[in-house]
Chain A
Amino acid sequence: MQRLRPGPVVAVGTIAFLALLVPLFGLDNPLHMDIAHRLAQPTLAHPLGQDAYGRDVLARLLWGARVSLAVASSSSALACLVGTALGLAGGFLRGPVEFLALRGMDVVLCFPPLLLALLVVTLLGPGAPTLIPLLAVLYLPGFVRVVYAGVLSVRTQDYVEAMRSLGAGRLRIMLGTILPNVGGPVLVQFSIAAASAVVLESGLSFLGLGVVPPAPSWGLMIGEARATMMQAPLLLLWPCLALSVTILALNALCDALRDAVDPHGITRRRRHGGLLDRLAPGLLPAPGAALELAGLTIAIDTPSGPIHPVRDVSLRVMPHETLALVGESGSGKSLTGLATMGLLPPIARVAGGAAWIEGRDVLRLDEAALRRLRGATVAMIFQDPLSSLNPVQRIATQIGEAVQAHARSPAKATWRRAVELLRHVGIPDPERRAHNFPHEMSGGMRQRAMIAMAIANQPRLLIADEPTTALDVTIQAQVLELLAALRRESGMALIFITHSLPVVAEIADRVAVMYAGEIVEQGRVAEVFARPLHPYTAALLASVPREDGSLAEAIPGTVPPPYALPPGCAFAPRCRFARADCSSGTLALTEVMAERLTRCRRWSDLA
């Protein structure tokens, strides 16, 4: 468990401590009246003054805290306990238990809370013993709903299935596996319930339905102070202040608890050493290049300083050319693609370098200019077409929007153009398919629709980020064929981001291999794959599943995270060829042969 933040604990602890130990403070009897000194100003004996009956306000405030807090905490604890049990059983066991738990709560929700309170108090008489179960019933549906919804989403998780597969009983799964995973929202719900129970108790007491006078309670005190508000306004202030502080402290405590029981907060991060300034953009872009990146570096600011998930990436893509950007997860290949589109997530920023699309420096364009560029000159397709398409719009409408974004045209013509694009990407029966919503299409069809959107304005550069990873092999073959055909006929440049070397071999002319945020090797696909000049490329090629039935060779270890990069060559700790001097200094991507670039001192040993 993570350490609990001390602030909220101290605050709630102090309030509870004051309430519990109030008999030991030697205060006045909160019921002792002293009519002679009614509404007296604060004195040393009565630090907060005296109320309309001359009772000590401080004593009443503290004794009142006992009542208010006891009612609020026991009623919300009761609701929490029963509600969690009902929600857990209903969500996990389903069937009649689910029906009873949920429909029962619906019945409770049908009653307006205040009316229910009035009814119960009228029948059973006012007082704390009535209030506790009453408030518990009122807050029950919230707990049941929160837990039930949580259980429904957790019960389908693989780790629950794993427990079943291990032969665990239902009780063990419910209490040991599901309950801890729905605990966070329950704590939040508890803080809401406890805070609003304090308020409701005060409100009911104010109305004369809660705690019975002359017993002290914050609600009663507010009610009584209201009558003498003009003579002694301070009397109203104290209970209100106590109420607000208590609610704030309770909310803060529950938030802190929720954070503390969540293990995700715990990360063992090491501070990385000072990073070299890599702000050395290249000279001018090569004429005619569809895209040129020069020393692109991306930074993400973290509490322990900036990390650089992409460092010094330089590459060039010419028209008609397909460049594959290949790397494992965390290599920075997708961030590179997003930066080129000016679509970096808010936490990331470009820390250095330049990116030219057809000679224009995209990193220095304003948002309006970028928008004009996107779609028209450069377009992007993503891995998961389902989450990239709008689920509530017909497919042709969405393609139409892409068309409209850059050239206004009448609605009829736009629709016709969308249908034409659908036909162009090989969707059968496009007139009918145009009316489909994304969920009515298969994965391959959705990816075709995404491609149709991307090519709507004949971009000169298409960035495809793992476009076939989510697809089946036979569908992947279709989409690769389609992309190759589109590139052949339009002459656009294609950047194909992928983790699959065989796919690279099928589609790309040139390849840039990325490792831990850097390009480690670049060259023509056939040459790189036949004779890699960087140990990582060689190891990656050896780890591809073999077709002759032998096991592939693994690369030992794991990719270093961007906050714990090793000094020198990032691949050195996993490299078979590493020597002592590999772990120091900086390495540049160097052209060691014609059109062959590598970031390795020992490339000649591999050759």
Chain B
Amino acid sequence: MTPLVVAENLSKHFPARRMFGRGRPVQAVSGVSLTVGRGEAVGLVGESGSGKSTIGRLMLGLLEPSAGRVVIDGTDLGATDADSLRRLRRRMQLVFQDPYSSLDPRRTVGAQIADGLAIHRIVPSGERRARVEALLARVGMTPAHADRYPHEFSGGQRQRVGIARALATGPEFLVADEPVSALDVSVQAQVLALLADLRRRLGLAMLFISHDLPVVRSICDRTVVLYLGRIMEEGPAGEVFERPRHPYTKALLSASPTLDPARRRRRILLPGDPPSPADPPSGCVFRTRCPWVAPVCAGAAPPLRELAAGHFVACVRADALGPVPDAPNGSVSQQ
């Protein structure tokens, strides 16, 4: 069976505006190919500037790619006219990171959940109220909440409303852009449990964008690790988490704080900041911070290679990475 969503060789460049003339374009996404199967949850992991949100919007057709294409269930988003694209939106939805800015402060949450129903004329206006209440119930809220305004809710409740709004049109594909990172831990767990449950019951395909590896692992089937707009590693979630093969994934995992002292790995401290996406390094974009860097890395950009079944890594040295070398790039700069 073909995957529900196929992104082929996506690139997105944003023109940089300067006071005089044009600067170098920002290469937010470069040559990313990605699939999401029906009912599958794919995690998109990366730090700020890795292009993960841009990819999410490209895959929903909210941004137009500079190169490459997105095909949803056989329909090329770039080749359809505006009207069919709007009809197609019914089948794919977005859940936002910020539960505060993603709801219209001037309208009741019930009215906002009903928007999707009205736009696509899914139910006659007389039955909308009942459908809104059913949607609220589905995300664990009560019918009376429909008449309240967003500011009367806590962050977690607002995120539930955002999810109900996305579910109103009965989508098959959901892009969740950091849906829990603005929430407190205890609430975060509530929303994650809700998303996992909805996915199971409705068979939703999901692109789950996050910077938090444990969160991605708990909810996704597959994980894609991004750095500077390029895929570094891709594979089954547990596999990437337990046996990371790319130096960046290894560093990312070792840097994320953990409760469990037994699991506390030797921390790989990456020196400095990620390079500017307007001026990425030649060859492997991670080489300027990579502890295992070798002269060969400055050459051609490493292609994604399949090292194990379904486990792809874009590193020429992935087969031969020993223990963390003693910082050829200098570890923490103040030592």
Contacts and interface: CB of A to CB of B under 8 A. Distances in A.
A506 B257 contact: yes
A35 to B, nearest CB: 59
B69 to A, nearest CB: 19
A342 B165 CA distance: 44
B94 A181 contact: no
Given A158-B98, A165-B89, A167-B87, A474 B154 contact: no
Contacts of B193: 551, 554
A447 to B, nearest CB: 11
Contacts of A168: 115, 119
A502 B104 contact: no
A503 B193 CA distance: 23
A541 B169 CA distance: 36
B192 interface: yes
B257 A503 contact: yes
Contacts of A505: 257-259, 261
Interface stretch (B72-80, B207-215, B317-325): B207-215
Contacts of A169: 86, 119
B218 to A, nearest CB: 5
Given A166-B165, A559-B154, 14 more contacts: A157-B101, A162-B94, A162-B96, A165-B62, A169-B119, A263-B105, A443-B48, A472-B47, A473-B256, A474-B251, A474-B255, A478-B269, A545-B189, A549-B241
Interface in B222-260: 237-238, 241, 251-252, 255-260
A552 B183 CA distance: 14
Contacts of A427: 333
Contact of A474 (B87, B185, B187, B252): B252
Contacts of A550: 218
Nearest to A553: B189
B288 interface: no
B273 interface: yes
Given A166-B93, A166-B165, A168-B119, A554 B101 contact: no
B83 to A, nearest CB: 10
A473 B47 contact: yes
A362 interface: no
B201 interface: no
Interface string B137-176: 0000000000001011011110000100100110000000
B105 A549 contact: no
B94 A543 contact: no
A465 to B, nearest CB: 16
B270 interface: yes
B333 A428 contact: yes
25 contacts: A159-B112, A161-B102, A162-B94, A167-B89, A172-B119, A177-B104, A181-B106, A328-B185, A329-B155, A443-B48, A472-B211, A473-B255, A474-B255, A475-B47, A480-B257, A502-B257, A502-B259, A505-B258, A526-B261, A543-B188, A545-B188, A547-B214, A551-B189, A554-B189, A558-B187
A229 interface: no
Contact of A266 (B149, B261, B267): B149
Main secondary structure of the interface of A (DSSP, over half): helix
Given A158-B96, A529-B259, A425 B334 contact: yes
Given A167-B89, A502-B257, A159 B104 contact: yes
B211 A473 contact: yes
Interface in B59-92: 60, 62, 86-90
A163 B169 CA distance: 12
Interface string A245-270: 00000000000000001111011100
Contacts of B60: 165
B105 to A, nearest CB: 7
Contacts of B269: 474, 477-478, 481
Given A162-B102, A551-B196, A476 B86 contact: no
A482 B332 CA distance: 8
Closest 4 CB pairs of A and B: A167-B89, A426-B334, A502-B257, A545-B214
Contacts of B187: 328, 554-555, 558
Nearest to B49: A472
B50 to A, nearest CB: 9
A176 B116 CA distance: 13
A558 B252 contact: no
A246 to B, nearest CB: 30
Nearest to B87: A167
A263 B88 CA distance: 33
B217 interface: yes
B219 interface: yes
Contacts of A159: 101-104, 112
A552 B218 contact: yes
Contacts of B87: 167
Contacts of B185: 328, 499-501, 540, 543-544
B72 to A, nearest CB: 13
A378 to B, nearest CB: 23
B267 A477 contact: yes
Measured as residues with beta carbon below 8 angstroms from the partner, the interface class of chain B is: 35 or more
Contacts of B273: 442, 444-445, 475
A545 B93 contact: no
Contacts of B214: 545-547
Contacts of A477: 255, 257, 267, 269-270
Nearest to A506: B257
Contact of B119 (A166, A426, A554): A166
Nearest to A181: B106
Contacts of B98: 158
Given A167-B120, A473-B211, A543 B217 contact: no
A530 to B, nearest CB: 9
A263 B106 contact: yes
A524 to B, nearest CB: 13
B259 A541 contact: yes
A539 interface: yes
Contact of A558 (B107, B115, B120, B157): B157
Contacts of B270: 474, 477-478
Interface in B18-76: 47-48, 60, 62
Interface in A159-195: 159, 161-169, 172, 176-177, 180-181, 183
A266 B152 contact: yes
A424 interface: yes
Contacts of A474: 47, 251-252, 255, 269-270
Contacts of B212: 545
A485 B335 contact: yes
B218 A551 contact: yes
B91 to A, nearest CB: 10
A485 to B, nearest CB: 7
A476 B319 CA distance: 29
A180 B106 contact: yes
B328 interface: no
A426 B186 contact: no
Interface string A497-518: 0011111011000000000000
A174 to B, nearest CB: 13
B241 A263 contact: no
Contact of A267 (B115, B152, B217): B152
B174 to A, nearest CB: 11
**Which residue, of A506, A539, A547, has the highest number of chain B Cβ atoms within 10 A?**
A547
Given A472-B211, A503-B257, A329 B184 contact: yes
B281 interface: no
A424 B335 CA distance: 9
A116 B193 CA distance: 66
B189 to A, nearest CB: 4
B263 interface: yes
B29 to A, nearest CB: 18
